[in-house]
Structure 1
Amino acid sequence: MNFSKSIYPILINNWIKMCSIVQEFELKSKNFPEACSKVWEVTYGTSGIYLIKVKAENSSQSFTDIQKVTLIK
């Protein structure tokens, strides 16, 4: 599922909505966290696909350890 640029500002300002989108469309990455208590940021990739960067909040993981999840099922 691709999102148009028109909803990009809405997504980047609504972390709960982004978490819901990930759950609703069962989006996954190799190490996708089960919990949604993360810091979310939406970016627009060079391929034209929106990505979610996941930054760990807890002390056991580094904030520089970023996972990318495409918004495509």
Structure 2
Amino acid sequence: MALLDFIYNRPNRVLELQKQYQADPRPIYLRPAGARGTLIVYGTLFSLGMMSTVYGIGCLVTGYGKPSPKDA
């Protein structure tokens, strides 16, 4: 089966790639390509969502936005 030889008869480079990946001094969550940008976007969206949630809870607790009994 020389036709498919290039698929299953490949050199095993896992160990050298693993050593190269582990030699990187950055934290594990910043090692993949594009990780910094992804974390910045995720952190921004997460912070915005949490601030909106806290604001909504604060409005529910204080009654902000409801008409006052005088106006009703």
TM norm. shorter chain > 0.5: no
TM-score for both structures, normalised by structure 2: 0.22
Structure with bigger RCO (C-alpha 8 Å, 6+ apart): 1
Q: Which has the higher strand share?
A: 1
- State which structure, 1 or 2, has the greater radius of gyration over its C-alpha atoms: 2
More helix as a share of residues = 2
Q: Normalization by structure 1: what TM-score? A: 0.21
